[in-house]
Structure 1
Amino acid sequence: MSPFDCNANKELIVRLKHDADLIQSIAELARSRGIDAGSFTAIGALKRARLGYYDQKNHEYREIKIDSPHEMASCVGNVSVSDGKPFVHAHVVLADEKGNARAGHLLEGIVFAAEVHLRQSESLKLERKYDEVTGLWLWDL
C-alpha cells in the first residue's frame, strides 16, 4: 500500500438531466473541467440501471439489469483517467418501491433525478493500469 496525499481543492455540485446516463454525465463533467482525479457522491432516483458483479474467479462482470424505477439509497465513486479520457467508477445501492435493495458496480444508470457532489483533487492525476492479478484496471500508484 502506497498512499498519496491529496487535497480536495475544488468541489462541484450539479443536478443531472432527466434521462441522462449518470456515468456518462459525470465523465463529461470531468472532461469539461479537466478533472483527472476526484471522488463523488450522488443521490436521487434512476429510471433503469445496469449493475455489474465482478466474478473474481473468472475475471469478468456479470450483468444485472434493472428495468424499473429505483431510489439511489447510496452512490459513491471516483474519477480517474484511462486511455487519456475520464474514467468514472461508481458503486450504487438501489431500492425498489418495497425497499428491497440491489447493489453493485454501476455500468449504466438512466436518471430520473440526480444530484451529484464532486470533489476534485487538483494535486493528483490518477491513471488506470491493467492489473494481471485481479483482471481489473486499477489506479497506477
Structure 2
Amino acid sequence: MTDRTTFNLDKFVIARAEHGEDLIRFIERVAEKRDIKAGTFTAIGALKKATLGFYNQNSHEYQELKIDRPREMVSCIGNISLKEGKPFVHAHVVLADDNGQTIGGHLVEGTVFASEIHLKILEGPKLERKHDEKTDLSLWKYGGDDGTRGQ
C-alpha cells in the first residue's frame, strides 16, 4: 500500500506583505507564483483594518464583523490548499487594540500596515477542498481514508 499521508516539510518561504495589501490575497499570490499546493503559515504584524468572520453552524452562513481601526496582529495562523484548482488561503487571526483588548475569528480580509509571513510548504499529495454536505463548507477531501493525514 502506498502511503499518501506523508508530507515533506523541508521547504519554507518567508515573505513581507507590502503596506496596503490584502493579507489573504498576498498569500494566495505567493502560493500561485511558487506553485504551492499545500502549506501552513503564521503571520505577525499589524492591520490597518480587517473583516472577521464567524461561521453560524445553524444557518450555514458567515457573519462578518468589520474592524475599521488599526490593530496589532497578535496571532495569525492558516493553511493553503487548492479550491477549484487554485490556491485557497484559510486563516484565523487574533487582533489587539491599543488597550490590549483582543478579538479573533476567520480572517476574511485584512489591509496590511506591516506583516511578516513564515510559510511552510507541504510537499506531497495535493490538498484539495470540496463541498461538504453536513457543514455546507469547502473542506479537505482525500480519497478513501479516515480524514487524517500524517504519520
Match of 2:51 in 1: 50
Deviating runs (4+, > 6 A) in structure 1?
A: none
Q: Secondary structure at the match of 1:57?
A: coil
Q: Which runs of 5+ in 2 are unaligned?
A: 143-151
Q: Which residue of 1 aligns with 2:130?
A: 129
Give the aligned CA root-mean-square deviation in angstroms. 1.0
Task: Kindly provide the amino acid, as one letter, of the partner of residue 44 in structure 1.
Answer: G
Partner of 2:115: 114
What letter is aligned with 1:128?
R
1:88-138 deviations in Å (ceiling 9; x for gaps): 000000000001111000000000000000000111311100001011100
Structure 1 counterpart SS, 2:30: helix
SS in 2 for 1:27: helix
Q: What's the CA shift for 1:8?
A: 1.5
Q: Which amino acid aligns with 1:92?
A: V
Q: Secondary structure at the match of 2:24?
A: helix
Q: TM-score, normalised by structure 1?
A: 0.96
- Identical residues among aligned pairs (%): 57
What CA distance in whole angstroms lies between the structure 2 residues aligned with 1:101 and 1:79? 25
The superposition leaves residues 36-83 of structure 1 with CA deviations (integer Å, 9 ceiling, x where unpaired) of 000000000000000000000111100010000000110000000001
Summarize the alignment of residues 69-88 of structure 1 with structure 2, pairs less than 5 Å apart.
69-88=70-89
* Deviation string, structure 1 residues 12-58 (Cα, Å, up to 9, x no partner): 00111000000000000000000000000000000000000000011
